[in-house]
Chain A
Amino acid sequence: MLKLGGKIIRIHAVDVHRDLTLLKVSTSRNLPEVLRREIAYLVSDQEIPRGFAHYLLLEKHKHLVEVLLSDSDYSLLPDDYSYIDDGDIIRLSADRQSISVLFRASSPHNSILVTEQCNHYCLMCSQPPKAADDSWILDEIESLIPLIPKDTRELGFTGGEPTTNRERFLKIISLTKSYLPRTAIHILSNGRSFKDPAFAEKYARIELHDAMIGIPVYSDDPTLHDYIVQAQGAFDETIQGILNLKRLGQKVEIRVVIHKLSVQRLPELCEFIARNLLFVDHVALMGLEMMGFTRANLDELWIDPVEYKDTLSKSVSILARYGMNISVYNHQLCLVNRDIQPYYRKSISDWKNEYAPECLSCTKQSECGGFFASGVKFGYSKHLTPF
């Protein structure tokens, strides 16, 4: 698992008042001087070009500090960060002596956290919401987007609920469209804001060329859905949001996290989706992530995937009969029936996925999505059967 942020060994800034914040990383020695002033150079050997805004050195290259000019700002990073590479974007904080890697050019799974605020409080939230004003994040995103490489294929926006501040959300999306016109956008939202036709319309009018909004629906029973997301009336608003988006021709994906509560009516939910929301572009059925609130509500949520194997097959077959686009995410290959294979995706982001000790002897590890690191750590099925 990759370490995406934390304390670093030392940030050395000649001018402590200079705001470092966001920096794009480069390994290119030949950048024009004018560009170097905005960019952090990743040191790899003795030959260090001059004039970069900042220099990054891994601990193993500590001795190269001597080679740097004395007026250079630099940071010493633990070797954990050796994955940082050309085109990545980082945030450095001198007063906290910390780094965050915000964008990794080599990853197909970059996503931007828009806010930690949310009008849901899902029992299994992996990113527990916070109430505090975090609009500084929005400011940062507005500076981040112009730094993202133009050839980025996909970019995600998550939260919290990214549409919490509706106007700023629209601004960020417009900005993304103008800086990254060819990038596919994926937005994770609970969809409730789009119940307001005027807001849905403003979003649609941005006319992103390739965008999908992923909206969770956990049950066809409104009460159960509202309970899972801990918000009264949520189901009714989410459904209306989906309808508004589809009316405006926007792409929508329905995301279902499978746990002990949602699995109770999973086939019924799939039938509901097929009968009522046939026009959504994709349905994702996802395994539970052992992070955030899930661990607090484990008794209520945990079910060994082996127990719902057949329910999952049945649910998927309903959606398939209606010709829907289906993906099964976050499941281990040995815990799903064979009929799931056409829809099985290795989806867990590369910085999250790992395998359990049982998996060592498995011959199909390369085809398997494995686990969230949190899963290996905090509990997983007792029924893994290596191929």
Chain B
Amino acid sequence: MSKFQKLEFYAQQRPYELLPFKFDRLNDNEYVITNMAGEFHVIPVPMLESIISKTLPLTSELIPTLRSKQFIRFTNEQAPLQLLALKIRTRLSRLAEFTNLHIFVVTLRCDHSCPYCQVSRQSESKGEFDMTTEMADKSLDFVFMSPNPAIKIEFQGGEPLLNFEMVRYVVLKAKKRNVKEGRDLQFVIATTLSLLNDDVLDFCKQHNIVLSSSLDGPMDLHNANRPRPGRDSHQRFEEGLKKARAALGYDQVSALMTTTDKSLPRARDIIDEYLRLGFDGIFLRTLSPYGFAIKTKKFMSYDTERWLEFYKEGLEYIIDLNKSGIRFVEQYSSLVLTKMLTSEDPGFVDLMNPAGAGIAAIVFNYDGSVYASDESRMLAEMGDQTFRLGNILEHSYEEIILSDQLLDALENSFTLSAPMCSDCAFEPYCGAEPVYHHAIYKDVVARKPESSFCKRNMAIFKHLIELMESDEQIKRIFMGWANRC
């Protein structure tokens, strides 16, 4: 007789127990199921009922996978509960750190006059649209009240280089204070690079300041999107990029694109332009509804469907690039994939829950107003003050951070209690985005079936899952994106 027992001896004889999970139809034939930690599995439609009714035979090949991904467990098994708890804890650990990104709008003045931008001013006169030192000091008091050990200060505009004196002031002041504070302090300047000079670069180099820039695509598209006197925005960008990379390091300059209706037929051109200029990724952004966009109805000029086509076309091209050995990332997908494939939360404001507003980021405006997010101040420029949390000269940290505007928005939009969201299988990947919903629907939750945010993200989630299911190579490329390696 063998000393060894057969496999059947170790198989479970009793029925399994369900662990919490959610499901949604992925397409006509399949459901996607997701557990509390965001792990997913795709199953054929008829299987779902038998899983939940426990009529799935214990010999089913699905059982090992359902156990491994913590959708079911057998009585007394402890490891699945501990692993789930651990992953949930990991994801939420970001929340405990509180505000990390502090945006300083040092001026509204700008040398560009982009049609989709509401906030910028062409005014040459200093003062009217510039942040004062008093405001900067108060804002810095606020920054260092955040319990987060890592602090990122981002300068925005307008064009922050038009008020570089204030940038300089804030950086030096913050560094001085940080000698005592000992935080991990980082600086970013969001700039078109059009006004970059050696003076600025020297300062950036000296203080390890990163540049976040804008590139909308090939020259004709970029210049059409971003008019400035001389129509040389693209040329200035490219020159600035070269200089900045040489001075600060290749990876110290990033670029963001703005999508307009002119971009939609040109996904490949735009990506090629990013490749040509040596970037290793692109953020295929939706046109934001803020600024002129809403007012001029530009936002309505193309619908979510059209944008999704643009996104899918671009993504397909990028995946092909990866398959042929070129490392290039689509950054929005990569944020979503981090949530799908890891226990990390990338902390991207649009995809946070509770909403990232005020928690992940806070904005100090040139006029002393404090906003819950960059979008909130754009909304305010359009006359909607819903997410104005207070004024830095008049209110204390506590008054601002515990303001009803912020807390109500966070609480009311929390997806685990929002209608439809609370049952949604994609909820672990999604975000609350109260500011967006308020902007469009005048309601922080909005009716999700009518929400283009919901429609767009749901389509993206499904698309990414279907891509991974259909092609193992894509899944492994995505694993790399999710882990930024």
User: Do A and B touch each other in the complex, judged by CB within 8 A?
Assistant: yes
Asked if B485 contacts A323 (CB within 8 A), the reply is yes
Q: Which residue of A lies closest to B8 (CB)?
A: A227
A121-B3 in contact (CB<8A): yes
> Provided the pairs A232-B10, A275-B342, A322-B479 are in contact, do residues A240 and B79 lie with their beta carbons within 8 angstroms?
yes
Return chain A residues, CB-CB under 8 Å to B47: none
For residue A219, which residue of chain B has the nearest CB? B64
In the complex, the answer to whether B4 meets A230 with C-beta atoms within 8 Å is yes
Cα–Cα distance between A220 and B83 once the two chains are bound (Å): 13
Name the distance in Å between A317's Cβ and chain B's nearest Cβ: 6
Question: Are B479 and A235 in touch, CB under 8 angstroms?
Answer: no
- Roughly how many angstroms separate A38 CA and B261 CA in the complex, as a whole number? 88
Produce 1/0 per residue, A104-148, CB < 8 A to B. 000000000000000001010000000000000000000000000
Shortest distance from the beta carbon of A315 to any chain B beta carbon, whole Å: 11
Q: How far is the CA of A240 from the CA of B482 in the complex (A)?
A: 26
Q: Which of A121, A236, A320 is B4 in contact with, Cβ under 8 Å?
A: A121
Within 8 A of B (CB), among A305-351: 314, 317-318, 320-323
Contact between A322 and B4, CB atoms less than 8 A apart: no
With A and B bound together, what is the CA distance between A198 and B132 in angstroms?
59
> What is the bound-complex CA distance between A221 and B476, given in angstroms?
21
Complex: A317 Cα to B472 Cα, angstroms:
11
Q: Is the CB of B64 within 8 A of A318?
A: no
Q: Verify if B12 is at the interface (C-beta below 8 Å from A).
A: yes
Tell me which residues across on chain B come within 8 A of A384, comparing CB atoms: none
B375 beta carbon closer than 8 Å to chain A: no
CA–CA, A276 and B341, complex, Å:
11
Q: How far is the CA of A221 from the CA of B62 in the complex (A)?
A: 11
The distance in angstroms between the C-alpha atoms of A320 and B64, with both chains bound, is: 24
Tell whether, in the assembled complex, residue A321 and residue B483 are in contact, meaning their CB atoms are under 8 Å apart. yes
A321 and B64 in contact, given A223-B10, A276-B87 (Cβ under 8 angstroms): no
Contacts of A232 in B (CB 8 A): 9-10
Say which residue of A222, A275, A276, A318 sits within 8 Å of B67 (CB atoms): A222
Number of chain B interface residues as a range: 20 to 34
Contact in complex: B342, A243 (CB < 8 Å): no
- Counting CB contacts under 8 A, is A297 at the interface? yes
Q: Determine if A354 is an interface residue (Cβ-Cβ < 8 Å).
A: no
Interface digits, A82-121 against B, CB 8 Å rule (1 contact, 0 not)?
0000000000000000000000000000000000000001
In the assembled complex, B39 has its CB within 8 A of some CB on chain A: yes
Q: How far is the CA of A286 from the CA of B77 in the complex (A)?
A: 28
B78 contacts A236, CB within 8 Å? yes
A239 adjacent to chain B (CB < 8 Å): yes
Find A239's partner among B11, B64, B83, B482 (CB 8 Å cutoff).
Answer: B83
A236 with B77: CB separation less than 8 A = yes
Please give, as numbers and ranges, the residues of chain A lying within 8 Å of B4 by CB-CB distance. Answer: 121, 123, 230, 296-297
Is there a chain A Cβ closer than 8 Å to B68's Cβ? yes
Chain A: CB-nearest residue to B86? A243
Q: Which of B11, B78, B342, B472 contacts A223 (CB 8 A)?
A: B11
Contact A275 B39 (CB under 8 A): yes
Q: In the assembly, what is the distance between CA of A323 and CA of B341, in Å?
A: 13
* B3: A residues at CB distance < 8 A: 121
In the bound complex, do residue A318 and residue B476 qualify as a contact, i.e. CB atoms below 8 Å apart? yes
- Given A123-B4, A236-B79, A243-B86 in contact, is the A220-B68 Cβ separation under 8 Å? yes
Binary interface encoding of chain A residues 228-244 relative to chain B, with 1 for a CB under 8 A from any of its CBs, else 0: 00101001100110010
Interface string of B197-214 (1 = CB under 8 A from A): 000000000000000000
Interface: A154 (CB within 8 A): no
Partner of B64, one of A220, A230, A275: A220
A224 to B8 alpha-carbon distance, docked (Å): 10
The A-contacting residues of B in range 439-485, CB under 8 angstroms, are 472, 476, 479-480, 482-483, 485
Interface residues of B in 59-75 (CB under 8 A from A): 64-65, 67-68, 74
- Which residues of chain B from 7 to 23 have any CB-CB distance to chain A below 8 Å in the complex? 7, 9-12
Interface string of B410-427 (1 = CB under 8 A from A): 000000000000000000
- Contacting residues, chain B, for A219 (C-beta < 8 A): 64
> Is A322's CB under 8 angstroms from B483's CB?
yes
Contact A221 B67 (CB under 8 A): yes
> Are A321 and B65 within 8 A (Cβ)?
no
Note all chain B residues with C-beta closer than 8 A to A224: 7, 64
Q: How far is the CA of A291 from the CA of B193 in the complex (A)?
A: 67
Bound together, the chains give a CA A219 to CA B82 distance in angstroms of: 18
Q: How far is the CA of A211 from the CA of B37 in the complex (A)?
A: 31
A322 with B342: CB separation less than 8 A: yes
Q: In the complex, which residues 232-291 of chain B have their Cβ closer than 8 Å to any Cβ of chain A?
A: none
- A304 within 8 Å of B (CB atoms): no
How near does chain B come to A43, taking the closest CB pair, in angstroms? 46
- Cα A268 to Cα B7 in complex, Å, equals 19
A253 at the interface (CB under 8 A from B): no
Q: Which chain B residue lies CB-closest to A319?
A: B479
- Distance of A272 Cα from B80 Cα, bound (Å): 11
Answer whether A321 and B476 are a contact pair too, CB < 8 Å, given A223-B7, A223-B10, A227-B10.
yes
Smallest CB gap from A222: residue in B? B67
User: Once the chains are docked, how many angstroms separate the CA of A158 from the CA of B65?
Assistant: 32
Q: Is the CB of A235 within 8 A of B79?
A: yes
Known: A221-B68, A321-B485, A323-B485. A227 touches B77 (CB 8 A): no
Q: Name the CB-closest residue of A to B479.
A: A321
Given the complex of chains A and B, what is the CA–CA distance between A278 and B87 in angstroms?
Answer: 10
Question: Which residues of B lie under 8 Å from residue A230 when comparing CB positions?
Answer: 4-5
- Structural contact, B472 and A314, CB atoms closer than 8 A: yes
Within A227-272, the residues touching B (CB, 8 Å) are: 227, 230, 232, 235-236, 239-240, 243, 265, 268, 272
Set of chain A residues within 8 Å of B476, measured between Cβ atoms: 314, 317-318, 321
Q: Which of B12, B65, B83 contacts A276 (CB 8 A)?
A: B83
Decide if A226 is an interface residue (CB 8 Å cutoff): yes
**Chain A residues closer than 8 Å to B479, beta-carbon distance:** 274, 318, 321-322
Say whether A243 contacts B82, CB under 8 Å.
yes
A330 to B194, CA, bound (A): 58
| Complex interface: chain A residues within 8 A of B341 (CB) | 275
Known contacts A221-B68, A275-B39, A323-B485; A240/B343 CB under 8 A:
no
Closest A residue by C-beta to B480: A321
In contact, B483 and A323 (Cβ under 8 angstroms):
yes
- The distance in angstroms between the C-alpha atoms of A8 and B32, with both chains bound, is 67
Whether B82 lies near A240 (C-beta < 8 A) is yes
Q: Which residues of the partner chain A approach B5 to less than 8 Å between Cβ atoms?
A: 227, 230
A254 CB, nearest partner CB in chain B, Å: 14
Quick one: which of A192-233 are within 8 Å of B by CB? 219-224, 226-227, 230, 232
- Give 24 pairs: A residue, B residue, CB < 8 Å, sorted on A: A121-B4, A219-B64, A222-B74, A222-B77, A223-B10, A223-B11, A223-B64, A226-B10, A227-B5, A227-B6, A232-B9, A243-B83, A265-B64, A275-B341, A275-B342, A276-B83, A276-B86, A297-B4, A314-B472, A321-B476, A321-B480, A321-B485, A322-B483, A323-B485
Q: Which residues of A come within 8 Å of B, CB atoms?
A: 121, 123, 219-224, 226-227, 230, 232, 235-236, 239-240, 243, 265, 268, 272, 274-276, 278, 296-297, 314, 317-318, 320-323
Chain B residues with CB under 8 Å of chain A are: 3-7, 9-12, 39, 64-65, 67-68, 74, 77-79, 82-83, 86-87, 341-343, 472, 476, 479-480, 482-483, 485
4 more CB-based (< 8 A) A-B contacts, given A219-B64, A275-B39, A321-B485: A221-B64, A222-B77, A230-B5, A243-B79
